[in-house]
Structure 1
């Protein structure tokens, strides 16, 4: 669970004020190591061969003891229960709203400009469905309690943007709907397991302009990655954009695992029964390209986070991707 706390808190640590908003990717570089504790975070940290080797060593060490097959089956079959228990404990106090979204994904700041128009923009919908008359439609997968949804709705305070959001946790969706700004005129939240190919979505195929996957694919069993992406991509319009951010290989969270939490290669279970996977650029690129998506970005965000009070250094590794569904050839 602590790695999830780290991911959300550290992703926002340099974006806490309008006057000191962290520029996108790589503008706060540690050039003088003696000044490491002058800021909370440093971008584009160089990893030495020694650091890479230490990462491999620690992963090899914490991977020696595998969770039993019976327990692995339990974590898979009851993953909704474990996430419900997670939100029962933390409610909506766990995450801060992700205002850093518009720094790392400026496409969300101006959806009209950055998302290609689909062929149906001037046409009346053949079938009525929630959000069918919106000019742009966004879908967040694994929305939690709405910390992505509400910053987007607040930024786009008009009826032209409609957001769908789903989560496997019934309690999380309940908390989304209880938010004071929830309105069915602008948002549709629903419970859904995106690994289930029989899931019923509230929108038709090729109707979405943007799909958002932030720290969610890592919670799914690796055997289901490809099918999940394939299923989601059916709902992107030609020209639509997939935005992705998740854990990278040798992130601090992976190195902190003790023996007894290892499920399979780079896949672990936390103490609360929720699971997490750590990606490489190459496997993500292969996965997205297999679904005929076109790469616009596949970036390893290596950051040095520091605790100035305790004089601690913490190395984070996240991967950020942007892939677009191509238009059909005429």
Structure 2
């Protein structure tokens, strides 16, 4: 039971308020009557309620450590105003104010993997590194670039890190659950130039997808790009599911327990735009896959998009991001 659900006399918060109201009531009563209750000698606990020690005889000002409800004379208030005007007449220079702020805090942010890079990429759901190593090969001639890659599976991340082509100086592979909003990334927000989100979002429950996209959006720097590719509605993978494997509308579970969702272009548009990103590309990629040996034709449907973090947030998009965070 919440303490606010208790009967009035049992509620600890109300008990405190009642005690305090007694103090206020006694003090106000004394002031209205013009009476000051007799006090004990200074240093001993007061017998009068708090707020009732009133100085009526200036000659006795040093008999107690503190007096209540003191009224300033016109001269005292004028002297205080003059002192404030004097001590605020000369202001600290703006550049010195900035220097003071810098002295209070660190001069530069704490180092993190890839902190010296000028171009940073994150691949979400890197698996065993099928995309990691082609990207690293491309980045060999770009030492100022850095690649982050993460996966839910610790085994997959270990495979990446143990690969002969893995270079810790230009790559950071780490285990991460993108559905855990409270789990920090090994780098600060707002520093990524590119995020690769390829056949990852479809494996996440539809109720959690928007939260994942919102979080990834925060990782991008202004002008940064998120590249998306995933299953489209009525792809042959969706058509091949047997009855009893559908979890919810267009969301299925495979025999190995992994999940698959099948997107429409409109769903993709809404999700990324709600996260504050601008749509640069959003298309349905339809292909005909042919098995020549079995003489079988299969229709493949994928959704592909490019979504960019605005260079300058408008007030509307800023309010939207605030409401989603």
Interval of TM-score (by shorter of Structure 1 and Structure 2): 0.5 to 0.7
Work out whether residues 125 and 132 of structure 1, in 8 Å CA contact, stay in contact via their aligned partners in 2: no
Residue number among 239, 252, 255 corresponding to 1:271 in the alignment: 255
Q: Summarize the Cα distance change of 1:309–1:200 in structure 2 as closer, same or farther, 3 Å threshold.
A: same
Name the structure 1 match of 2:264: 280
Measured on the aligned residues, the alpha-carbon RMSD in Å equals 1.3
Name the structure 2 match of 1:44: none
Name the structure 1 match of 2:220: 236
Displacement after TM superposition at 1:329 (Å) = 5.1
Tell me, what secondary structure is at the counterpart of 2:216?
helix
Matches for 1:45-124 after TM superposition, within 5 Å: none
**What per-residue deviation string (whole Å, max 9, x for no partner) do you get for residues 225-246 of structure 1?**
0001001111100000000000
Name the structure 2 match of 1:188: 172
Residue number among 140, 147, 153 corresponding to 2:136 in the alignment: 153
Residue number among 103, 119, 122 corresponding to 1:136 in the alignment: 119
**What per-residue deviation string (whole Å, max 9, x for no partner) do you get for residues 263-314 of structure 1?**
0011100000111110000011001111121111001000001111221101
Distance 2:195 2:163 in 1: 22
Larger radius of gyration between Structure 1 and Structure 2: 2
Q: Which runs of 5+ in 1 are unaligned?
A: 1-123
Tell me, what secondary structure is at the counterpart of 1:323?
strand
Tell me, what secondary structure is at the counterpart of 2:283?
strand
TM-score (norm 1): 0.61
Residue number among 177, 182, 205 corresponding to 2:189 in the alignment: 205
Work out whether residues 250 and 262 of structure 2, in 8 Å CA contact, stay in contact via their aligned partners in 1: yes
Matched, 1:312 2:299: no
Count of aligned pairs between the two proteins: 207
Distance 2:211 2:275 in 1: 10
**What per-residue deviation string (whole Å, max 9, x for no partner) do you get for residues 98-125 of structure 1?**
xxxxxxxxxxxxxxxxxxxxxxxxxx96
Higher RCO structure (Cα 8 Å, ≥6 apart):
1
Distance 1:233 1:288 in 2: 8
Q: Summarize the Cα distance change of 1:264–1:171 in structure 2 as closer, same or farther, 3 Å threshold.
A: same
Distance 1:125 1:276 in 2: 43
Matched, 1:290 2:274: yes
Residue number among 148, 164, 170 corresponding to 1:164 in the alignment: 148
Name the structure 1 match of 2:33: none
**What per-residue deviation string (whole Å, max 9, x for no partner) do you get for residues 202-235 of structure 1?**
1101010001000000010110000010011111
Work out whether residues 125 and 133 of structure 1, in 8 Å CA contact, stay in contact via their aligned partners in 2: no
Q: Which runs of 5+ in 2 are unaligned?
A: 1-106, 315-325
Name the structure 2 match of 1:175: 159
